[in-house]
């Protein structure tokens, strides 16, 4: 078995290389001038430049789009975790009328194609005046982040023995005190994993974000797709924006990496 | 412990999901049985839109492409993901590094994935496209349907195999060492270790992985939208793309709604079929 | 089955600390050998080295004179039972038991005959068609043992605390089944455990491991009567051996300032050891003469022996607890005196056995 793992190692390096190669190419594009991009094919940029990044940081269309994206992703993550925590606790600790059905019904929402919801979302959020705000996108993304959050948190909570709940009740603490002071710290790995997945799914989504925004709340992913079609092909700036959209994800994975490993170990991710 | 008051704790989730799922879904069902001219003029048409959708050759084509695409993607990504997961060392400093590298593609916005592959695969400015052309193969994913499919599959494998690999790794990491030691003493070969020690214990995580990949591949929209725009011709137009064109592009509310309902039901059906077959297989083990 | 010879076996996971530090051990063919020790003693490491799942830093292992030190697990032809039942979940019980046989090129009918034979031995024939999932923990561990016994030619059967996961109520059944089979088939078995009573009842000989060193190897009664190290004395027995600070003065062993018995040891401090049943505490005038004054703390009745009530007496000698197992009629109100059997005392210097039996 150990010899086997050692032998397989080089295929893993190969695979990681294949994962990183397109990213490397994106990065080189981001530091090239447009005439160099369309001119000769350079594997290593001969005249690296930061102009593309400067363009993004000085052009309000770009940096406001970044701010918009981060706003709805953070709001979505907060809302998802906030509503999922009590629900997951209820699912993991109590039996109640229709609990199993409700749980599975929640999960089926994860199976709904976003394209199905475009039109009703558009009309719904227009009707309540949230259209073209980050909150519309944040709420709409709850469609798949909330079921996911409930599911992950329920897994982590079920792994905590019930004796913990009973002990603090015997000690005479209120339920709220127990929940916030004891229980939440115990399952913080689970919360870390949940934050990671809510953040990730909200951050990477385009279709709903594009449909629910027009101008003011346009997120970065939408600005990117429109740059391609409208302003011709400014490959360098597009690549630079792409590089910048990858960074938040890497930051999040770095912050929750230990929780992620624990979450993986529980098989609930 | 039975406690119906627990409903209070579930209530926020129910409200949020009702707002984001039930209300829109009801709207869709409502539209799917009406012909809508404007806000005040609506005619109940029964199941006409459903009949029309099922007879629409473009819908059927998109559906077949979709099923073929999902089938291919699963057939590649699941075995490859397991293979990758087995190659990751179980412990030690390298483990975390590999896991983070594997996680990167999952964290990239889907349209950026499309952009990355656009830049990577174009014959004129892309490393891959240029390399393939340089070795003498004619390759152009915007011109040839086959090339477009190959590029899309490569992109999806690049994007999503990590998910299978990470889940499979989680499953492998929880297998006790003693199980491997017993197999070693029994003189089991590498294939037997995989078949009899690992695979049975990966059942749960692989079920989740296949379910996630199945539904997500059935919903794919953004990446082909950016990379190929559904073309050349309609050769890479999948269900979501066709639906989006119908609903947002042409505002065909009734047919789009009927399409949506069928689409959702299709995914539910496929997931349910898969899940019950896995559970039935599991029952044999009992 | 094979005789096993271990010479100078060393292992370490990090440079800093040796997990096993020069173990020498010889097992004869067909011997039931227990490796006893607390957690961190190196028991499981020793077992993994024997199985070939780990490679030692130094030393040799020979099976019937053949050097197997550098062979892997598959090459040594050993079988192992683990702390929890290790089975192949997708194979039925018969498939599990016959798995290793198939891998070694046995034909199907031969495998089937052997599986039936082993299943009969362990009385699990009715389970053969079932999947591991449907079995109780006890049944699973029985199947795991059957797996280990399936190959008739294994050099040694290794057991790594095989009763840990089993409920206390069924432990003795499993242990008896193991012992019966070991004797019937004359298997060489190495049984690792932290439970001294398991080791004492199961093994022909016991090796006591402590912090990577083999403190003593011997028969259960040798380890019980004359532990060669104070750690062995403390570990074996329930409660363990009483060890009291004492002194040799002018050729006399003195405990609590009282000369107990003549000894060949030179003058100086030492530790005197005695089992709880090698002493009595008595009260009354007659007890005073050769007894050591002692304060009785508690008395725990243990039932009767030949119609007389017996109990475990806990007393304090120089502020240290002493346990004595005795007939309770000798214990009345009044000053108590400890009487030691001079024929059975053991003495220690620097934790090592200095003399025994007076």
* Cβ neighbours of C52 in B, within 8 Å: 185
Given a contact cutoff of 8 angstroms between Cβ atoms, the answer to whether B28 and B36 are in contact is no
**Residue B28: which of A43, A83, A116 has the nearest Cβ?**
A116
* Beta-carbon contacts of residue A235 (< 8 Å; ≥ 6 apart): A29, A34, A37, A38, B119, B125
Q: Do C79 and B184 touch (CB under 8 A)?
A: no
Q: Verify cis geometry, omega within 30 degrees of 0, for the bond prior to B232.
A: yes
Residues of B whose CB is below 8 A from C89: 200-201, 285
Q: Do C99 and B285 touch (CB under 8 A)?
A: no
For residue A264, the chain B residues in CB contact (below 8 A) are: 99, 166-167, 169-170, 173
Query: B185, C104: Cβ pair inside 8 Å?
Result: no
Domains of chain A and any CATH numbers: 63-162+189-265 (1.10.3720.10)
Residue B69: which residues within 8 A CB-CB, separation 6 or more?
B152, B153, B217, B220, B238
User: Across chain B, what does the average pLDDT equal?
Assistant: 83
Domain ranges of chain B: 50-285
* CB-facing half-sphere around the CA of A229: CA atoms within 13 A: 9
Hey, are the CB atoms on C133 and B185 less than 8 Å from each other?
Answer: no
Min Cα separation B73/chain A (Å): 17
Residues C19-35 have a mean pLDDT of: 88
Is A22 in Cβ contact with B16 (below 8 Å)?
Answer: no
Residue in C83, C99, C133 nearest the CB of B285: C133
- B77 and B156 in contact (C-beta within 8 Å)? yes
| Residue A233 confidence (pLDDT) | 67
Cross-chain residue pair B176–C86, CB shorter than 8 Å: yes
Confidence of residue A6 (pLDDT cuts 50, 70, 90): very low
Out of A171-175, C148-152, C156-160, least confident range: A171-175
Mean pLDDT of the C251-274 span? 85
So what's the pLDDT on residue A2?
43
Q: Mind listing the pLDDT tens digit for each residue in B102-152?
A: 888 988 888 888 888 888 888 877 888 888 888 877 778 777 888 889 889
Is some CB atom of chain C closer than 8 A to the CB atom of B175? Answer: no
In the predicted structure, residue B3 carries a pLDDT above the cut 80: no
Integer-rounded Cα Rg, in Å, for chain B is 23
Backbone angles phi, psi at C156, to 5 degrees: -155, 145
What is the residue extent of each domain of chain C?
A: 4-235, 242-356
Nearest CA in chain B to C51: B185
Among the residue ranges A8-12, A231-235, C294-298, C300-304, the one predicted with the least confidence is A231-235
d(C-alpha A187, C-alpha B129), whole Å: 47
Q: From CA B185, how far away is CA B182, in angstroms rounded?
A: 5
pLDDT at C14 over 90: no
**pLDDT 10s digits, A100-119:** 788 888 878 878 888 888 88
pLDDT surpassing 50 at residue B68: yes
* Record: contact A225-B193, CB cut-off 8 A: no
| C74, C84, C88: residue with CB nearest B185 | C74
What is C4-235's CATH superfamily?
A: P-loop containing nucleotide triphosphate hydrolases (3.40.50.300)
CB distance from B195 to chain A under 8 Å? no
Q: Provide the token pair at A88.
A: 């997951």
- Low-confidence winner among A109-123, C90-104, C186-200 (lowest mean pLDDT): A109-123
Q: From CA C282, how far away is CA C319, in angstroms rounded?
A: 19
Is residue C184 predicted with pLDDT exceeding 80? Answer: yes
Lowest mean pLDDT among A40-44, A206-210, B164-168, C230-234: A40-44
CATH architecture of B50-285: Orthogonal Bundle (1.10)
Going by their DSSP bridges, the two strands B34-36 and B42-44 should be labelled as: antiparallel
Residue C80 to residue B192, Cβ atoms within 8 A: no
The pLDDT of C129-143, averaged and rounded, is 88
What percent of chain C stands above pLDDT 90?
Answer: 15
Chain B positions touching C74 (Cβ under 8 A) are 184-187
B38 CB within 8 Å of a chain A CB: no
- To the nearest 10°, report the CA torsion of A230, A234, A239, A241: -60
| Closest-CA distance of chain A to residue B112, Å | 6
CA B194 to chain C, closest CA, distance in angstroms equals: 11
Is the torsion defined by CA of C108, C111, C117, C122 positive or negative?
negative
Rounded Cα–Cα distance for residues C158 and B154 (Å): 50
Tokens matching residue C67: 């050097």
Chain B residues with CB inside 8 Å of A87's CB? 9-10, 12-13
Q: What is the ipTM of this complex?
A: 0.82
Please answer yes or no on whether B178 and C86 come within 8 Å at the CB atom: yes
Q: Which residue's structure tokens are 């020790």?
A: C37
Please say whether the beta carbons of A210 and A6 come within 8 A: no
What is the band of C112 on the pLDDT scale with cuts at 50, 70, 90? Answer: very high
C-alpha–C-alpha distance, residues B105 and A19, integer Å: 8
- CA separation (Å) from B54 to B31, B45, B49, B218? 17, 16, 9, 18
Q: CA C135, CA C130: separation in Å to the nearest integer? A: 8
Instruction: Give contacts of B 120-149 with C, CB under 8 A.
Output: none
Contact B271 A111 (CB under 8 A): yes
Instruction: Give the Cα separation of C22 and C345 in Å (integer).
Output: 30
């Amino acid at each position: 078995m150990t010899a086997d793992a050692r032998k397989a190692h080089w295929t893993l390096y190969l695979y990681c290389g294949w994962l990183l190669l397109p990213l490397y190419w994106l990065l080189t594009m981001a530091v090239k001038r447009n005439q160099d991009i369309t001119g000769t094919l350079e594997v290593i940029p001969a005249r690296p430049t930061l102009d593309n990044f400067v363009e993004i940081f000085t052009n309000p269309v770009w940096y406001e789009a970044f701010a918009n994206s981060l706003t709805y992703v953070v709001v979505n993550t907060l809302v998802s975790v906030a509503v999922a925590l009590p629900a997951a606790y209820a699912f993991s600790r109590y039996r109640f009328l229709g609990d199993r059905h409700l749980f599975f019904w929640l999960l089926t929402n994860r199976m709904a194609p976003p394209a199905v919801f475009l039109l009703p979302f558009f009309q719904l959020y227009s009707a309540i005046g949230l259209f073209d705000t980050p909150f519309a996108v944040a709420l709409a993304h709850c469609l798949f982040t909330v079921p996911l959050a409930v599911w992950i948190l329920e897994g982590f909570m079920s792994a905590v023995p019930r004796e913990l709940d009973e002990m603090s009740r015997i000690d005479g603490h209120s339920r709220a005190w127990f929940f916030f002071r004891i229980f939440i710290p115990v399952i913080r790995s689970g919360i870390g994993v949940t934050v990671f997945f809510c953040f990730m799914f909200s951050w990477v989504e385009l279709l709903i974000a594009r449909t629910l925004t027009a101008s003011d709340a346009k997120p970065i992913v939408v600005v990117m797709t429109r740059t391609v079609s409208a302003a011709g092909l400014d490959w360098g700036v597009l690549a630079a924006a792409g590089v910048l959209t990858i960074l938040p994800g890497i930051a999040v994975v770095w912050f929750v990496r230990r929780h992620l490993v624990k979450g993986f170990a529980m098989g609930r991710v | 412990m039975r406690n119906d008051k627990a409903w209070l704790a579930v209530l926020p989730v129910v409200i949020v999901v009702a707002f984001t799922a039930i209300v829109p879904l009801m709207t869709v069902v409502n539209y799917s049985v009406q012909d809508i001219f404007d806000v005040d003029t609506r005619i109940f048409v029964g199941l006409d839109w459903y009949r029309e959708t099922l007879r629409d050759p473009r819908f059927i084509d998109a559906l077949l492409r979709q099923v073929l695409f999902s089938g291919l993607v699963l057939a590649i990504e699941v075995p490859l993901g397991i293979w990758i997961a087995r190659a990751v060392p179980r412990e030690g400093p390298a483990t975390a590094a590999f896991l983070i590298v594997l996680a990167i593609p999952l964290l990239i916005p889907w349209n950026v994935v499309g952009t990355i592959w656009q830049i990577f695969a174009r014959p004129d400015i892309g490393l891959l496209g240029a390399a393939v052309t340089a070795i003498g193969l004619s390759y152009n994913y915007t011109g040839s349907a086959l090339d477009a499919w190959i590029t899309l599959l490569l992109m999806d494998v690049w994007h999503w195999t990590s998910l299978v690999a990470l889940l499979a790794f989680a499953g492998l990491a929880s297998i006790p060492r003693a199980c491997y030691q017993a197999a070693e003493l029994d003189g089991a070969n590498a294939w037997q270790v995989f078949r009899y020690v690992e695979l049975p214990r990966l059942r749960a995580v692989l079920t989740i992985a296949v379910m996630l990949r199945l539904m997500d591949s059935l919903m794919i929209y953004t990446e082909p939208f950016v990379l190929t725009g559904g073309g050349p011709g309609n050769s890479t137009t999948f269900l979501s793309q066709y639906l989006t064109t119908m609903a947002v592009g042409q505002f065909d509310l009734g047919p789009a709604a009927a399409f949506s309902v069928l689409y959702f039901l299709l995914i539910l059906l496929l997931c349910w079929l898969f899940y019950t077959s896995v559970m039935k297989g599991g029952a044999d083990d009992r | 089955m094979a005789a096993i010879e271990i010479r100078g076996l060393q292992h370490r996971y990090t440079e800093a600390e040796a997990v096993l530090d020069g173990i020498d051990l010889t097992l004869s063919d067909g011997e039931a050998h227990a490796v006893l020790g607390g957690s961190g003693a190196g028991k499981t490491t020793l077992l993994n080295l024997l199985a070939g799942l780990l490679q030692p830093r130094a030393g040799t292992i020979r099976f019937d004179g053949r050097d197997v030190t550098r062979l892997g697990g598959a090459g040594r032809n050993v079988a192992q039972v683990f702390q929890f039942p290790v089975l192949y979940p997708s194979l039925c019980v018969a498939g599990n038991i016959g798995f290793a046989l198939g891998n070694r090129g046995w034909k199907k009918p031969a495998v089937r005959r052997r599986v039936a034979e082993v299943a009969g031995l362990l009385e699990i024939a009715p389970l053969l068609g079932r999947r591991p999932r449907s079995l109780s923990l006890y049944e699973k561990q029985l199947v795991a043992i059957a797996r280990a016994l399936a190959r008739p030619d294994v050099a040694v059967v290794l057991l790594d605390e095989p009763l840990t996961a089993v409920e206390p109520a069924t432990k003795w059944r499993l242990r008896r089944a193991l012992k019966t089979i070991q004797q019937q088939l004359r298997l060489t078995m190495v049984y690792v455990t932290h439970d001294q009573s398991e080791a004492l009842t199961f093994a022909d000989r016991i090796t006591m491991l402590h912090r990577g060193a083999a403190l003593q190897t011997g028969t259960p009664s040798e380890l019980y009567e004359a532990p060669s190290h104070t750690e062995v004395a403390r570990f074996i027995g329930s409660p363990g051996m009483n060890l009291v600070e004492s002194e040799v003065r002018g050729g006399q062993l003195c405990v609590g300032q009282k000369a107990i018995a003549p000894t060949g040891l030179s003058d100086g401090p030492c530790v005197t050891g005695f089992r709880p049943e090698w002493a009595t505490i008595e009260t009354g005038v007659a007890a005073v003469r050769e007894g050591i004054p002692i304060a009785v703390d508690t008395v725990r009745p243990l039932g009767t022996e030949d119609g007389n009530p017996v109990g475990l007496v806990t007393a304090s000698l120089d502020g240290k607890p002493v346990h004595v197992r005795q007939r309770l009629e000798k214990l009345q109100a009044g000053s108590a005196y400890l009487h030691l059997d001079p024929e059975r005392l053991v003495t220690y210097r620097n934790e090592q056995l200095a003399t025994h039996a007076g």
